[in-house]
Amino acid sequence: MIWLTWRQFRASALAVFGVVGAVAAALASTGPKLYREYADLMDLCGRPPSECYDDFFFSRVGVHSGLILFVVALPVVVGVFWGAPLISREFETGTQDLVWQQSVPRRRWLAVKLGITGLAAIGAAALAVFPVSWWSRPLDVTAILGLDRMSPIVFDARGYVVLGHTAFAFALGAAAGLLIRRAVPAMAVTFAVFVAAQIVMPAMIRPHLVTPVRAETVVTARNVSGIDASVLLVDAGQPGAWILSNEMVDSAGHTVSTMPGWVTECDTPEAPEGEIVQQRCLERLAAEGYRQAVTYHPAERFWLFQAYETAIFGVLGVLLIGFCFLRIRPH
């Protein structure tokens, strides 16, 4: 039974592991040089955010983005091309009857197929994400806002949460294949449901796993980063944090969508003589009760969110596997 499962699975397994292994080898060979350049950058710029990070990050932003897509796509590949056809193709071709007629219990047949392929899926995910997370660490530290590791798209490609996503995708594909019993429709359903789950999690569930932090601060010349449509753009001052909202509020604590026309004078001056005008504007802003309200999850919550989300997807995967065993009658 194990040999039969391996023969059916080996071509796709070797293809995926070949690609993942090649990427891991490339990262292992180039990582030490990247870390040396990162250490030199820290000696030059220091630890706080600095404009001199930009050249270091943007010169590698293409590789950074490519690796994110590579890791994020892996659970999709596992669910669609490994999980969904695993059982559905057997029913399409009728080959499951050949095994069941050889005195192999149905649930043992299912356990072997799910066990071998599932372990291979988790192994492929680990081989992909851990080298990528290690190699990308210097870029995550120096990334611009929205591309650090707490941001939703990068979070999904770092740490061990990818293992939970992969386990869920595989179990989802197997369950869809068992229910639909046709490979192509099962693959389509697996893709649609998994993508929907990946959208719902960061948009509706992940922000509320832990109560976010809310802080209000006075707008100063140091944290003003620009102005857009008469609305001041203010730096949240939380490096690496996941910013949920960053908005101006009035003295009553209500969000301000449109600022008074004079607020344009608070923008960063282009000439030194404009600093006096800016300072007066900022003093007036504070006197009238305007301040910046930021809601965020700090960077140190990264591993806590990783643990919670991995557990959620892991439990969902176990429930789907349990459903498969209940669906397959012993006789």
Report how far residue 85's alpha carbon sits from residue 77's, in angstroms, rounded to the nearest whole number.
Answer: 12
Chain mean pLDDT for the chain: 86
The phi, psi pair for 290, rounded to 5°, reads -75, 140
Q: How far apart are CA 80 and CA 71, in angstroms?
A: 15
Q: Using a cut of 0.85, tell me whether the model's pTM lies above it.
A: yes
Q: Which residue has the higher pLDDT, 152 or 328?
A: 152
In this prediction, residue 314 has a pLDDT band, given cuts at 50, 70 and 90, of very high
- Residue pair 264/227 in contact (Cβ under 8 Å)? The answer is yes
The answer to whether the Cα torsion of 200, 204, 209, 210 is positive or negative is positive
- Report, as an integer, the average pLDDT of 318-324: 94
* Top-confidence residue, 243 or 163: 163
Taking only the tens place, the pLDDT of each residue in 164-210 is: 999 999 999 999 999 998 999 999 999 999 999 999 999 999 999 99
Q: What is the dihedral of CA 24, 113, 317, 244, to 10 degrees?
A: 30
Is-contact 181 91, C-beta < 8 A?
A: yes
**CA-based radius of gyration for the chain:** 26
pLDDT digits (tens, 9 = 90+) for 76-112: 999 999 999 988 888 777 665 555 556 667 777 788 8
Tell whether the model's pLDDT for residue 48 goes beyond 70.
no
